[in-house]
Amino acid sequence: MQATIPTQPADTKKTITALRKRLERWELDHLRTLSASLSNQLEAANERIEALQSDLDRAWRNAEAWQDDAMELVKQLEAEGQTVGLTITGALVVEQEGGAA
C-alpha cells in the first residue's frame, strides 16, 4: 500500500522559490569567495613579477659592470705591453713573456 502525501500547489511553489533563493545565495557566496581568492593570487603574481624584474635589472647592471671592469683591465694590460686573451670558458689570461699563458 502506497501512501500519498497531498501537497498544495502553493506550498510547492513556496518551497521551490525558497530553494532557488537559497541556491542563489550559495552561488553568490561561492563566487565572492572565488573572486577574492583569484584577486589574492593575482596580487601575489604581480608582486612576484616585480621582484623578478628587479632581480633581472640588478643582474644586467652587474653584468655591465663586470664587462666594463674587464675591458678596463684589458686596456691597462695592453697599455703595459701585455698580451691578453680569453680561454674557451671565457676567462681572461695574460700571456707570459715566454709565450705560455
- The more confidently predicted of residues 69 and 6 is 69
> Taking all residues of the chain, what is their mean pLDDT, rounded to a whole number?
89
Burial, 72: exposed, middle or buried (Cβ in 10 Å; 0-12, 13-18, 19+)? exposed
Across the range 25-37, mean pLDDT stands at 97
Burial 38-67 (b: 16+ CB within 10 A, else e): eeeeeeeeeeeeeeeeeeeeeeeeeeeeee
pLDDT higher than threshold 60 for residue 6: no
pLDDT of residue 96: 77
pLDDT higher than threshold 70 for residue 99: no
pLDDT of residue 95: 86
- The more confidently predicted of residues 7 and 42 is 42
Confidence of residue 27 (pLDDT cuts 50, 70, 90): very high
Across the range 39-62, mean pLDDT stands at 98
